[in-house]
Amino acid sequence: MITAGDFRNGLTFEINGQPHIIVEFQHVKPGKGAAFVRTKYKNLITGAIREESFNPTAKFSPARVDRAEMQYLYNDGEVYYVMDVETFDQITLPMEDNKDAFKFVRENTNVRVLSYNGSVFGVEPDNFVVLEVTETEPGLKGNTATNTLKPATVETGAEVRVPLFIEQGELIEIDTRDGSYMGRAKSYDK
């Protein structure tokens, strides 16, 4: 069993038979009254995020989330096809449920497929990826204002905000957790 006092970011636990993951937590010890744990957690099946406070001694069952390394092959407009890199078994994932997870994933790259009790519920791409800018407005000579960003479309079709000096055809590194520009890249290997 896990107590609320053991909560850490990324920890998975069950509430009402549903798996959740801790997004944020804070141990609070007020001047008066009992201590509590302020928690923000996400339902791994539905994606719903909830904030709640727990007594530090509240007990929860751990949720065993399996992560399998798989290769994203392609999509046909309705489903994503991924393949287990060890057994070569292919599975399909509905496009409508997984669009956000795949927006920074190129074909033939690896992702982690998440399952709970044998049921696949999501996909986890690498935290940092390198993608080519396929469309953006050209930068103007001398336009070097700091912290000014423009929209750019990358090869997967996702839109990212990039600095003014980034040109079409350049490789950039992106943080997939929030979709932010990290810097230029020399190759797809980072």
User: Which CATH number does the domain housing residue 18 bear?
Assistant: 2.30.30.30
Residue 96: in which H helix or E strand, if any?
helix 95-102
In terms of domains, do 132 and 101 share one? no
> For residue 82, is it within any domain?
yes
Amino acid 144: pLDDT: 60
> For residue 90, is it within any domain?
yes
In terms of domains, do 146 and 175 share one? yes
In terms of domains, do 118 and 137 share one? no
In terms of domains, do 55 and 106 share one? no
In terms of domains, do 7 and 58 share one? yes
> For residue 56, is it within any domain?
yes
> For residue 97, is it within any domain?
yes
Check: CB of residue 158 under 8 Å from CB of residue 125. no
In CATH, what number is assigned to the domain containing residue 119?
A: 2.40.50.140
Domain region containing 160:
128-184
Amino acid 134: pLDDT: 93
Amino acid 190: pLDDT: 56
Q: Quote the distance between the C-alpha of residue 8 and its chain's center.
A: 18
In terms of domains, do 70 and 53 share one? no
- Amino acid identity of residue 100, one-letter, is D
In terms of domains, do 7 and 57 share one? yes
At residue 16's C-alpha, the angle toward residues 113 and 5, to 5°, is 85
In terms of domains, do 91 and 135 share one? no
Number of domains in the chain: 3
Query: What residues contact residue 159 under an 8 Å CB cut-off, 6+ apart?
Result: 151, 152, 153
In terms of domains, do 51 and 87 share one? no
In terms of domains, do 94 and 46 share one? no
> For residue 189, is it within any domain?
no
In terms of domains, do 112 and 149 share one? no
> For residue 34, is it within any domain?
yes
pLDDT in tens, the chain (190 residues): 899 888 988 888 999 888 898 889 999 888 888 899 999 998 887 878 999 999 999 999 998 888 889 999 998 888 899 998 888 989 888 888 778 888 899 999 999 988 888 778 778 888 899 999 999 888 666 666 567 888 999 998 899 999 888 889 999 999 988 889 999 888 877 5
> For residue 190, is it within any domain?
no
